[in-house]
Chain A
Amino acid sequence: GQQVMQIPQYQHVQEGEDFTTYCNSSTTLSNIQWYKQRPGGHPVFLIQLVKSGEVKKQKRLTFQFGEAKKNSSLHITATQTTDVGTYFCAGPGNTDKLIFGTGTRLQVFP
């Protein structure tokens, strides 16, 4: 079945370092969404990318959708302790359901 994988599963960084998580789908996606889940919290929508090669920025976060619309990345510049959490990508499945990636848990040490 359709799968959405993310790497790495965990990432520990020192505050101020950059961080990147990668999302790969087994099939072409019409769009990709990114969510953030703080420890003890619930997933919260961050952004949606629709176009091939699209790049969007939210302050220190840069989101990219691959040219083939099968992969995506989230890059955080100069991480802060407030960036701690699990980041999920998600894309539409064959039956219009969202397929969530496995998530990348980010830990930031001060």
Chain B
Amino acid sequence: DVKVTQSSRYLVKRTGEKVFLECVQDMDHENMFWYRQDPGLGLRLIYFSYDVKMKEKGDIPEGYSVSREKKERFSLILESASTNQTSMYLCASSSDRVAADTQYFGPGTRLTVL
């Protein structure tokens, strides 16, 4: 079974702090994604990566950056956290770029920015 893990289930940070959210997948998947989920807004794509050291902006990249130094690890970085970044953050991976293959999600990190 595909396993996607995220570094924290719950995180509380202060405004202005730098925040790192880590995601690791164990199935040698090429593609990794970061979403945020907010009530009534569904899943919104922040950034994704098709390969090591490669990244592409999703629909809402402002205020975020990412890093993919190794194939299995995809990090989401909030350079200076703000209260409007309080949300559930979900990482996902998939194996095949063509036709947007099935995605496997991690358990999520609920981030609160005070």
Contacts and interface: CB of A to CB of B under 8 A. Distances in A.
Interface stretch (A51-59, A72-80, A94-102): A94-102
A27 interface: no
A45 B104 contact: yes
Interface stretch (B12-20, B37-45, B63-71, B73-81): B37-45
Interface in A80-110: 88, 90-93, 95-98, 100-103
Interface residues of B, number: 23
A16 interface: no
Interface in A28-47: 30-31, 33, 41-45
Main secondary structure of the interface of A (DSSP, over half): loop
A33 B106 contact: no
A48 interface: yes
B102 A33 contact: yes
10 contacts: A90-B103, A92-B99, A95-B56, A96-B97, A96-B98, A97-B100, A100-B35, A100-B42, A102-B40, A102-B42
Given A45-B104, A92-B99, A97-B33, 8 more contacts: A43-B90, A45-B102, A91-B100, A96-B97, A96-B98, A97-B48, A100-B35, A100-B42
